[in-house]
Every structure is written in C-alpha cells, then in structure tokens.
Structure 1
Amino acid sequence: MSAVMPSTEPQGVRGRRVTDSATRLTHGLMALSFALAWLTGDTERWRDVHVLSGYTLAALLLLRLADALWGPRRLSWRQVARQLGDAARWALAAWAQLRAPLPDWMGLARRAQSVALGAITAALLLCLPPLLACGWLGDQDWGPQWLQEALLEGHEALADGALALVGAHLLALLLLSLLRQRNAGAPMLSGRVPGAGPDLVTQPRHGRAVLIGLAVGLLWCWQWPL
C-alpha cells in the first residue's frame, strides 16, 4: 500500500475567500457607473450617458438588494445595520473616553479601524436610493415646475453627499492599509485575505458574475448610440 505524502504547499498561501466574484464585479460596475454619472452630470452633450449610467447603477443596486434578501449572509441588510450600529457604539465609546481622565487613544484607534470602513459603505448604500429616485423622477419631468426644480436640487445635493462618502471610503481604505501594512482593498480584487482558516464565502459564484457582466454589456450595446 502506497504511503500518502503530505502536501508541501504552505497552509494559507492562497488565503481565505471572503468575497465572491459576483459581489466583486457588482462593486466594480457600481463604482464605474457612479464615476461616469458624476463626470457627465454637468454637460448636456453627455446627458444620455449620464442617464444610462444612472439606470445601470439603479439596476445594480436592485441586484444588491436581491442579494441582501436572498443572497449570502455576509451581504444581508442585517450586516449593513450591524455596521451602522457598530459605528454608533464606537462613537458613544469615543465620547466616554474623551471625558475620561486618561483616554485610551490606541484602543479607540484600533476599534475605529474595524467600524469606519463598514459604516461608510453602509451609509453610501443608503444614500444611493434617494439619489437615483430624484434623478429618475427629474428625467421623467414628473410633477409641476417647482417640484422638478426641487428634485434637481435634491439630486445634486445627494450626488455631492455620495461623492463625499466615496472619498471617505477611499481615504478609510488608505488609512486602514497603512495601519495594517497590507492592501485593505485587495479582497475586492482577489476575493481573498492572507492567512489560514476557513473561507467566509464558500461559493465563488463565477457563473453569476458572467451573467451580470453580459447583462450590463448588452444594456449598453442596446442603448448606444442613444
């Protein structure tokens, strides 16, 4: 009977899977759609591209909502609510520490690392629905003139707020990468984090990612040129 040779591959070389392909592609397409919508928002020449980018972002957000309801546990709205709750509890703890004779600054900083990025992401997800709703209603010329103007102003204000959250998101990623001495955005590129241990996401969902990519590509081919 032949002996079973132990594997010579070091444990944890590939790391643990924490994000599936469909989630990463959706995240990337949402970022690209938002960037296109922002860049084309102030010029009438590219208005059709602005509108199509907004519709694409809305469709991807609906897909994200479906994942929150029926998808993996890590994408559920409970996770979003937990991230916001963690941020609120951290803020209360920070206020208590500031009033203490000897604040634990290092403890606050370590805790902030784990809540800031998640809270900003959750806030951005909550900002997108009213932003897109105002844009859609304005594009449909819905209601009287004063309401259309109010929708336009609301759309622009929400867009500025979303852009600020995107900037805060990127800044938080940069600070987190510096503090932990590794790229905090890598999971959205490779889907994995270094180290041994069980995968937090068991299904890579490659097929779903292909379908999402094809659907978005067909939408743009169908609507271009507008």
Structure 2
Amino acid sequence: MNKILVWDLPTRVGHWLLVASFAVAWLTGESETFRLVHVAAGYTMVAVLAFRLFWGIAGTRYARFSSFLFSPRQALDYLAGLLRGGKSHWVGHNPAGSYAIYLLILLGFASAGSGWAFYNELGGEWMEEFHEFLASTMLAVVGFHVAGVVVSGLLHRENLVRSMINGYKIGSSEEAISSKRVLWAVLLIGLAGWAAVTAFLP
C-alpha cells in the first residue's frame, strides 16, 4: 500500500470553494451592509455545484457519481460498522459520505434558489424563512460530514483533510488516477470568479 493520487484538482478546488462560499454566505446572511457579498457567495456556490454535476459525469474515477452509488442499506451498514469500531477502508467516497455529498448538492441549489427568489422579492417572508431553513439544514449536514471525516480518519489513521488538499490517500498503485486535470481546475476557478463578479454588476 502506497500514497496514491485519488482526488483530482477540480474536485479539491471545488470542495474548498464550496466550503468558502457557504461560510461567507452564512456569515453575511443577516447583514444589510454585506448583502451583495452574500449574493456573490451564493452565485459562486451555484457555479461550483453546477460544475460538480458536470464533473460527476466527466471527471476522473473517484469524482464520478458512478463510483459512489450506494444503497441506503450500505450507508447504514457502514455507519453501524463505525460505531462498532470497524475499519472498512474506501479509497474514494465511503457509503455514508456519498449521501452527505448528494444532500449538500441538493441543499446548495435549493438554498441558493430560494435566496435568489427572496432577493428578487418573490415569496415574501415565507421565502425568507424557507431560505433560512434550507441554509440551517445544510449547515447540519456539513456538521455531520465533518464528524464523519474526523471519526473515519481516526479509525483508519488517515488525514482525510490533508488528502483533500494534496489529493493523496493510501491505496494500491492500480487504484490511483493518472492525472490531476489542472486545466479543468483553472476553468472552475474562472467560472466561480465570473459568478461572484456578476453579483456586483448593475
């Protein structure tokens, strides 16, 4: 078993852009002064999530949705195994983590859509409350995801946060991906930057 490249650069860049845009949106959600910053963060999040949908089909091995299509039963069995101290190791996304990804994508689009509707004075107070509910639910899923990363990392003695920074995990050589896909990561950064800037345009 060696350190192998698992996460391509677009997957890693997209992950941290999503973290940053959601954090900024959450912190500026109640501020009138930073309202446009909040909107820019929401636009950025949508751009990143849209790219993630594309990358889930066209990306490298472990970025593709086909690599982490698990049944609810498999996810529950994985969680039960963790509670028993099990050490089932996954090179890519584990069954429980895969559902966190699906939920974050769904909630991200839903919260951004409801925020856009409220920003454009559609739905009134009800839409505002719905937007806040979706954002709070997304934060809860983020908390669940972080807890899973910590527990799984401790059991497997593997720094999963570091692997989402440098792209490397423990595995066999035949499990590695062959390329970081740097140009696609540059395209993603450009797309996210363009989305953020549009919030400040008249």
The interval holding the TM-score normalised by the smaller chain is 0.7 to 0.9
Query: Using a 3 Å threshold, how does the CA distance of structure 1 residues 94 and 55 change in structure 2: closer, same or farther?
Result: closer
Q: Secondary structure at the match of 1:194?
A: strand
User: 2-side partners of 1:153 and 1:16: how far apart?
Assistant: 45
- Correspondence for 2:156: 180
CA contact 1:134–1:155 (8 Å) conserved in 2: yes
User: 1-side partners of 2:78 and 2:159: how far apart?
Assistant: 28
- Correspondence for 1:102: none
- Correspondence for 2:40: 52
Query: Using a 3 Å threshold, how does the CA distance of structure 1 residues 221 and 62 change in structure 2: closer, same or farther?
Result: closer
- Correspondence for 2:111: 131
- Correspondence for 1:88: 73
Higher Cα Rg, which structure = 1
- How many Å apart are 1:178 and its aligned residue? 1.3
- How many Å apart are 1:68 and its aligned residue? 2.2
In structure 1, list runs of 5 or more residues that go unmatched: 1-10, 98-104
Q: How do 1:1-226 residues align onto structure 2 when only pairs under 5 Å count?
A: 12=2, 15-79=3-67, 82-83=69-70, 85=71, 87-91=72-76, 106=84, 109-110=86-87, 114-142=94-122, 147-217=123-193, 219-220=195-196
Q: Secondary structure at the match of 1:64?
A: helix
- How many Å apart are 1:221 and its aligned residue? 5.6
- How many Å apart are 1:92 and its aligned residue? 6.9
CA contact 2:7–2:168 (8 Å) conserved in 1: yes
- How many Å apart are 1:60 and its aligned residue? 0.9
For residues 52-91 of structure 1, what are the alpha-carbon distances to aligned partners after superposition, in whole Å with 9 as ceiling and x for unaligned? 10001001111111112333343333345x24x1x43453
User: 2-side partners of 1:44 and 1:136: how far apart?
Assistant: 15
In structure 2, list runs of 5 or more residues that go unmatched: none
Instruction: Tell me the TM-score normalized by structure 2.
Output: 0.83
For residues 158-205 of structure 1, what are the alpha-carbon distances to aligned partners after superposition, in whole Å with 9 as ceiling and x for unaligned? 100000111111111111111112212222111111344124322211
User: 2-side partners of 1:36 and 1:93: how far apart?
Assistant: 32
CA contact 1:34–1:57 (8 Å) conserved in 2: yes
- How many Å apart are 1:39 and its aligned residue? 0.3
User: 2-side partners of 1:162 and 1:21: how far apart?
Assistant: 24
CA contact 1:16–1:198 (8 Å) conserved in 2: no
CA contact 2:12–2:164 (8 Å) conserved in 1: yes
Query: Using a 3 Å threshold, how does the CA distance of structure 1 residues 137 and 221 change in structure 2: closer, same or farther?
Result: closer
- How many Å apart are 1:148 and its aligned residue? 2.4
Number of matched pairs: 198
User: 2-side partners of 1:159 and 1:198: how far apart?
Assistant: 40
